[in-house]
Structure 1
Amino acid sequence: MLSRSVFLALALELVAASAHNHPGEYSPEDECSGVNAISPACSTGESLHYRDIFYVGGHYVETTAGNLTYDQLYVEKLTPADGVSQPNPVIFFHGGGTSGVTWLNTPDNRKGFASYFLDLGYQVYIVDQTSVGRGSEEDLTDFPMRIGSTAEISENGFTAPEQANLYPQSQLHTQWPGTGLKSDPTFDAFESTFIPLTTNLTAQELSMRRSGCALLALLATPAFLVSHSIGALHPLLLSNDCPALVAGSVNLEPANTPFQSLLGNASVPGTGSSRTRPWGLANTRLTYDPALSSSSDHDDSNVADPSAALGAHLVGIDAPERRACYMQRDPPRKLPQVAKVPT
């Protein structure tokens, strides 16, 4: 342990070093852009707030190593410094391969989504989905992991699709700051946010259903759910399981395309897909009307092939400018639970 005299000496050295390194007023604005804004001399554009963290849900599982916690959901609570003025909170769900950092400041250090809603007086919650980030799982069997992204995937899919030109609409892409290419500082900051994600979306959906509804029940006030990409699975499932606790659902670039993922098996650049989400918009059971099961109790949990029961069939010719899609047979079944939630 440091003695009091040693601690005071170190503190004085830090003060002296600070005065030496930053004499007077700090220099030009560009020296506080991007990662340079990490400097203590740089002010922040983020909204003033209080922060708390919680873990919601989860349960103990006895293993040969001892009792481990599975399925816990990391939740960050941001409260406006001036107080909450909106009646319903907002919960953010990130996409695949990243974490709740998506909703904080942008890669070029501009104000992010969280601050925008804090300024409007909302209570804000940001989750790291079960199995990733600060919600990482001890369950190494059910949650195998893969890489979150590569520079090439990010360039082609997010930051510079106009360069790859895999589909005609890519030329309309103009909003990404900087070049959108590797070694550009904004791109590099964005690429650094990627982390491994699980390949077992079924296990993740089941754990998010349990912990997500537990979170909503703790809030006791219906919340708005805002999601991006594959994160759109979770507001859908919570709308199915506990719709009375959901005030509304906003899904940005949702990646739960019915019955398929628009990745893989490409014979022509900009096309190709692989079958997934047998329940249409999810990998796990959704409540349909009419029910899929013909049993007397209409228990859909035992339906062996829900996509076949729904009559999923491919419609259209798959082309870069207009992708083919899967639809139910007529008359299509409805999702009565999900329909209770405004979108």
Structure 2
Amino acid sequence: MPTPLAAPVPVIAESLYSRSYFYVGGEYVNAGSDDGQRVFTGQMYVEQLTPIDGVKHPWPIIFIQGGGQTGTNFLNTPDGRKGWASWLLDQGYTVYLLDQVSRGRSSYHPSNGPIINYTAELAEKRWTACRDFQLWPEAALHTQWPGSGRVGDPVFDAYYASTVPSLKDYGVEQKLMQAAGAHLLDRIGPAILVTHSQGGTHGWLWADARPELVKAIVAIEPSGPPFQSTIVKDPTVKIYGITDIPMSYDPPADATIGGKAPLQTQEHPALNGRNFFLQQEPARRLKNLSRIPVLLETGEASSHASYDEFTVRFLRQAGVNVKHLKLAEEGIHGNGHLQFLEKNNLEIIEMLEKWIKGIE
């Protein structure tokens, strides 16, 4: 018999808003039949939430979630508290939530390649109960997950029930998401992007495609470090530094030739037993990101505490105006990778929102 979920946690958090939804991107493709019938694929589900009391800020917030997640993860927490999107609605922001292409309410099609699932055990070790496993030094500091973070705990089960399959091929995923993101920005106009983890690659790519429409990026522990992945051991991951597909570098970074990466890299001394890579000097510049303010934020107990500094160095080397906000240095302690679901989530979003207001 399968293990049943623990008793569900009631959701009690509320915000007053109007709600609508739409789809952007996508195309008709052959359904696989001999008579030419078609289906639609590559579309992205988008949900628009507008505060009832009126919009008080010039630009809306678009949330781009990480791997295995959907837009629902920003609404409320798995133990029923108010989430980041709900809190921002209370402050007068229009909020857009999305499900990444071929994920959740954005219908999957086999032409987009295989999918992967994050197991409950992986979630325990890396995100919700990392203190129990201590796979990196900072994991011992993790105190903010609400509950044990283990299978059978009602909060963990409510969180893990929300996880969904994701596309396995990062390159395919990024191409689809960049196209859908460009459509979204063309439709709604200028916006601020708040990205998390794997969704961080899409923030860079959306800004590259529509630099005039991205007013700022708040990157919560974006996929990193440069040229590497911490989950998938693959030498072809992020060959453009922070993405797997081309970015607008100056001078241009050509496609892979003769097995060499398009960006020449230089190895840096190991940190916690791991080697990191940056561009060789003189470094190519990310010309379309150079005028977009970026806040990159890192939690004290996350695995990202060991390497987000190298993502920041890479961005600065490429001419990006980025501020590195380390929660621990601001007196906010004990956070892992899923900060928007943790006990002090509203303390964190309040700090992030102060930076956002500073660029309005």
Partner of 1:25: none
Partner of 1:113: 84
- Superposed CA offset, 1:132-170 (max 9, x none): 1011232x03321111x2221111111111110122211
Q: How does 1:165-184 map to 2 (within 5 A)?
A: 165-184=134-153
Q: How does 1:225-264 map to 2 (within 5 A)?
A: 225-263=193-231
Secondary structure at the counterpart of residue 97 of structure 1: coil
- Superposed CA offset, 1:253-305 (max 9, x none): 1114211102356xxxxxxx75411111111110111223xxxxxxx4x5536
Partner of 2:301: none
Check conservation: 2:19, 2:50, Cα contact below 8 A: yes
Partner of 2:8: 35
Secondary structure at the counterpart of residue 144 of structure 2: coil
Distance change >3 Å, CA 212–CA 307, structure 1 → 2: farther
Partner of 1:290: 251
Q: Which of 1 and 2 has greater Rg?
A: 1
Check conservation: 1:129, 1:135, Cα contact below 8 A: yes
How far off is 1:63 after superposition? Answer: 4.0
Secondary structure at the counterpart of residue 54 of structure 1: strand
Among 284, 287, 290, the residue aligned to 1:336 = 287
Unaligned runs of 5+ in 1: 1-33, 39-43, 266-272, 293-299
How far apart, CA to CA, are the structure 1 residues paired with 2:283 and 2:31? 45
The TM-score with structure 2 as length reference comes to: 0.75
- 198-207 or 304-313: which moved more? 304-313
Check conservation: 1:261, 1:275, Cα contact below 8 A: no
Distance change >3 Å, CA 186–CA 63, structure 1 → 2: closer
Secondary structure at the counterpart of residue 141 of structure 1: helix
Check conservation: 2:9, 2:154, Cα contact below 8 A: no
Among 107, 113, 125, the residue aligned to 1:143 = 113
Secondary structure at the counterpart of residue 151 of structure 2: coil
Among 67, 71, 84, the residue aligned to 1:96 = 67
Secondary structure at the counterpart of residue 162 of structure 2: coil
How far off is 1:186 after superposition? Answer: 0.7
Check conservation: 1:264, 1:274, Cα contact below 8 A: no
Q: How does 1:1-343 map to 2 (within 5 A)?
A: 35-37=8-10, 44-65=12-33, 66-138=37-109, 140-147=110-117, 149-220=118-189, 222-263=190-231, 274-292=235-253, 300=254, 302-304=255-257, 308-317=261-270, 319=272, 323-343=274-294
How far apart, CA to CA, are the structure 2 residues paired with 1:127 and 1:264? 24
Structural RMSD (CA): 1.9
Check conservation: 1:73, 1:130, Cα contact below 8 A: yes
Unaligned runs of 5+ in 2: 1-6, 295-360
Give the residue type in structure 1 aligned to 2:280. R
Give the residue type in structure 1 aligned to 2:8. V
How far apart, CA to CA, are the structure 1 residues paired with 2:113 and 2:19? 29
Number of aligned residues:
285
How far apart, CA to CA, are the structure 2 residues paired with 1:68 and 1:218? 23
How far apart, CA to CA, are the structure 1 residues paired with 2:42 and 2:50? 25
- Superposed CA offset, 1:301-330 (max 9, x none): x5536963421233223635xx32111111
Check conservation: 1:131, 1:143, Cα contact below 8 A: no
How far off is 1:202 after superposition? Answer: 1.1
How far apart, CA to CA, are the structure 1 residues paired with 2:136 and 2:32? 51
Give the residue type in structure 1 aligned to 2:150. L
Secondary structure at the counterpart of residue 111 of structure 2: coil
Distance change >3 Å, CA 217–CA 307, structure 1 → 2: farther
How far off is 1:205 after superposition? Answer: 0.9
How far apart, CA to CA, are the structure 1 residues paired with 2:50 and 2:227? 39
Secondary structure at the counterpart of residue 181 of structure 2: helix
How far apart, CA to CA, are the structure 2 residues paired with 1:70 and 1:304? 31
Check conservation: 2:18, 2:49, Cα contact below 8 A: yes
How far apart, CA to CA, are the structure 2 residues paired with 1:223 and 1:340? 14
Give the residue type in structure 1 aligned to 2:279. Q
Q: Does 1 or 2 have the higher relative contact order (CA < 8 Å, sep 6+)?
A: 2
Check conservation: 2:100, 2:177, Cα contact below 8 A: yes
Distance change >3 Å, CA 288–CA 82, structure 1 → 2: same
